[in-house]
Amino acid sequence: MEQALIQQTQQLETVLEGTVSSPKGFKAGGLHCGLRRKALDLGWIYSEVPAITAGVYTTNLFQAAPLTVTKESIAVENKIQAILVNSGNANACTGEEGMKNALEMRDHFSLSLGIPQHYVAVTSTGVIGQQLPIDKIHNGIKQIDITNNQSGHFEKAILTTDTTVKHLAVSLEIDGKKVIIGGAAKGSGMIHPNMATMLGFVTTDAAIAPDTLQMALKEITNHSFNMITVDGDTSTNDMVLILANGLAENNELSPDHPQWNGFMSALKMVCEELAKKIARDGEGATKLIEVEVTGALEKETAEVISKSIVGSSLVKTAIFGSDANWGRIICAVGYSGKKIDPLKVTVKIGPITVVKNGLPQEFSEEMAKTYLENEQVKIVVDLHEGNEKAVAWGCDLTYDYVRINASYRT
């Protein structure tokens, strides 16, 4: 999958085992401070110099205190130098005390680093409605050594119900300089556009202006993190931050730069691959589902329909059971709210055409079942009305999803 993406982007290559500390001047790490029983639960990212920063955030009206603090920090100069992340406690719906703890989390970390308070972003993930044990955070901050780069520890420290870490980095040449974009993310349940119960951290040593970086992140997010779903829930703490410290010393990037498209392709690769890793790691999931809708008159139509299909509980359970129940796919197209001509629709499950011009086609149930037993399943819906298309990702819905979420707090 990654190799196919690489071939589509000139001068782009993967950085093996790359992550948020792959770009020049970045370090990351994690440790156990006692918020979780044994697992690492406090992670950090640090840039040698303040980095131009952009962010996108959850659309949930109940936004956790760390989001408010982080947005306020970024608003001062559009720069962040360090990020502190805790797992095990969301610090959401915690009132004035929660806000005080988020500020203390930021201020103590900035003091330990000797940098201005507004150069620190904070974020939390975990159980909602419980006060953050701030003394444990303070003790954890005392143990952080920013000279010790352990990105693997950072990736583990930000996890909750995830079963695996998620990271990627790519490199490309801009103005004769090697530019790297790295990323790490967490997310497994409560995943649904727009934004999900996910945290995404992207770093780059490219030089780029604040407004341009914000525009780029928003555009890429709409085609990556906002195109995944696990269970239809949107959480209180979700955010994606991108930091660009400029240490690659390229000419400042903008849409007018001759290599802008290459940078955007690289950024898209990182965000899209992280998004797919989140979808594949959905709680209890056994399969990654990719839904491509083509032939739409408008891109929004393709996006809405693809998300409608991949978000359908009935489609997800059919995929889990390796059942080629195409009627569920058609239903999801029909209730998406977008007007299309049902008599033009073609549906494929992998290489197998199950619907053509709105009518069922004869196909081998045995072959379909064999295909659906793969770990990656692709559904293609062609509307035959235009040239626009979109892709969304999700996962199957399994017995384990119910088990995990029935006992989340215990």
Catalytic residues: 197
Angstrom distance (rounded) from CA 244 to CA 80: 9
Between strands 228-229 and 388-395, the pairing is: parallel
Angstrom distance (rounded) from CA 388 to CA 393: 18
Work out whether the CA dihedral 332, 336, 341, 344 comes out positive or negative: negative
Angstrom distance (rounded) from CA 349 to CA 355: 9
Q: Do the beta carbons of residue 349 and residue 292 sit within 8 Å?
A: no
Q: Do the beta carbons of residue 66 and residue 72 sit within 8 Å?
A: no
**Token pair in block for residue 37:** 């029983």
**Token pair in block for residue 227:** 């195109």
- Which residue, chain included where needed, has tokens 């559904």? 379
Closest by alpha carbon to 41, among 249, 168, 216, 186?
A: 186
Q: Do the beta carbons of residue 66 and residue 237 sit within 8 Å?
A: yes
Tell which phi-psi region holds residue 2, choosing left (phi > 0), alpha (psi between -120 and 50) or beta.
Answer: alpha
Neighbours of 67 (CB within 10 A): 24
Q: Do the beta carbons of residue 291 and residue 310 sit within 8 Å?
A: yes
Q: How far is CA 290 from CA 53, 108, 148, in A?
A: 31, 43, 38
Neighbours of 339 (CB within 10 A): 8
Closest by alpha carbon to 28, among 199, 141, 144, 198?
A: 144
Phi, then psi, of 250 in degrees rounded to 5: -80, 165
Taking the mean position of all CA atoms in its chain, how far away is CA 346?
Answer: 30
Closest by alpha carbon to 338, among 386, 279, 396, 288?
A: 386
